[in-house]
Structure 1
């Protein structure tokens, strides 16, 4: 993939707060690339690890992280703007889905019905 030349640091930095926060829909190519990169960073194996780390940092448990997969992470694939990001997202989404399914299967095999309850390990 060819590197994209940004016109100026200022033109790039104007997109960081709004795109990362999800406040506005990106309109320029630079903003779309930044938005896609931000979402891709939350997906895949590293995204799974980060989700559990952040949950632990906030005192949340496995069930909260599992719910986060369904509420946010598994929806990211559909929010990509560029074709390149869509390709990367497809692969990372597959890993996320397999992990979420395996987690839910193990939780159910432990006698629980869903991720809505407090998990006692």
Structure 2
């Protein structure tokens, strides 16, 4: 746990690198490196029981996907931030990620075409 304000700012900056547009890019880069699919329709609770160990780490990386990383980890980064400014930046960036992954889900499942 960082004690000084400088250490808290550095910790927050490191965490903020994982969210927003850069966070989306990093999540897809990691998924691609692992040979994971572009998107997973897995039920989150089932996925947690079957592919996460007791420490929350993936058992089979190939079953992981960027959207699962977002749902299971990235959305919760705000809970570990120390400064009000970092929280504000996080909220802005996570809104972008919410919209991105919602749009991705709609396009992949074809639900974006239902209103046409």
| Per-residue deviation, residues 25-79 of structure 1 (Å, max 9, x unmatched) | 3222122112111111011111111110121112122231110010111111232
Q: SS in structure 2 opposite 1:78?
A: helix
| Greater Rg over alpha carbons, structure | 1
State the alpha-carbon separation in 1 of the partners of residues 83 and 37 from structure 2: 34
Aligned position for 1:59: 35
Q: Which has the higher contact order (CA 8 A, sep 6+)?
A: 2
State the alpha-carbon separation in 1 of the partners of residues 35 and 6 from structure 2: 36
Q: 2:96 aligned with 1:95, yes or no?
A: yes
Unaligned segments of structure 1, at least 5 residues = 1-24, 111-121
TM-score, normalised via structure 1 length? 0.63
> Which 4+ stretches in 1 moved above 6 angstroms?
none
TM-score, normalised via structure 2 length? 0.66
Unaligned segments of structure 2, at least 5 residues = 40-64, 112-116
Aligned position for 1:40: 16
State the alpha-carbon separation in 2 of the partners of residues 84 and 75 from structure 1: 17
